[in-house]
Amino acid sequence: MGTELDLPTIASSLEGSEYEPERFPGLIYRLKEPKTATLLFHSGKVVCTGAKSLEQVKMAIEKVTKQIEKAGIHIKIEPKIEVQNIVASSDLGQSINLNAIAITLGLERVEYEPEQFPGLVYRLDVPKVVLLLFGSGKLVCTGARKPQDVEDAVDKITIELRAAGQLR
């Protein structure tokens, strides 16, 4: 929000907010609609998580801003919203052999330790995202900054797996 925030004052006036600076440096404020969590930091930085669209982010930030102003704290600037991390899930439509895929995709971009985590971690350079692949064929894409990055990453892994004979 661009201005230093008095988190103890905000916490005492925002019903339901969580502020325990010895455990986490930010104030956590959850909304039921849209279902989001907004993290406010002393520096004035704000992080909104859980939104399903940019419209929901805008709605959540607007609600939080109004609640803060209702508490007597004036927000001097219009918050600038910047998408930093889109998390999306997809399904390849069939189960996959993660051991074979780990070998096929090459060790330089793959992490696969099934004793530690049941998914294969695959890092793409373009788009710069991380894919988590599971034996069920489900996958999670994280780190995207725009929806097209997710689509490109899923297309890319699908093409690579088909070319390697790992996907019908």
Q: Which CATH number is 107's domain given?
A: 3.30.310.10
Q: Where are the alpha helices (DSSP H) in 23-93?
A: 54-70
> Is 19 part of a structural domain of the chain?
yes
**The pTM is what?**
0.82
21-25, 64-68, 139-143: which has the minimum mean pLDDT? 64-68
Q: What is the pLDDT of residues 79-96, one digit of tens each?
A: 889 999 999 999 999 999
Residues 104 and 135 in one domain: yes
Q: Within this chain, do residues 105 and 156 fall inside the same structural domain, yes or no?
A: yes
Is residue 48 located within the same domain as residue 90?
no
What H or E segment, with its residue span, contains residue 31?
strand 27-31
Per DSSP, the three-state class of 14 is coil
**CA separation (Å) from 22 to 38, 93, 118?**
18, 45, 33
Our count of domains for the chain comes to 2
Q: Which domain holds residue 19?
A: 7-70
- Mean pLDDT within 94-112: 93
Shared domain check, 104 and 57? no
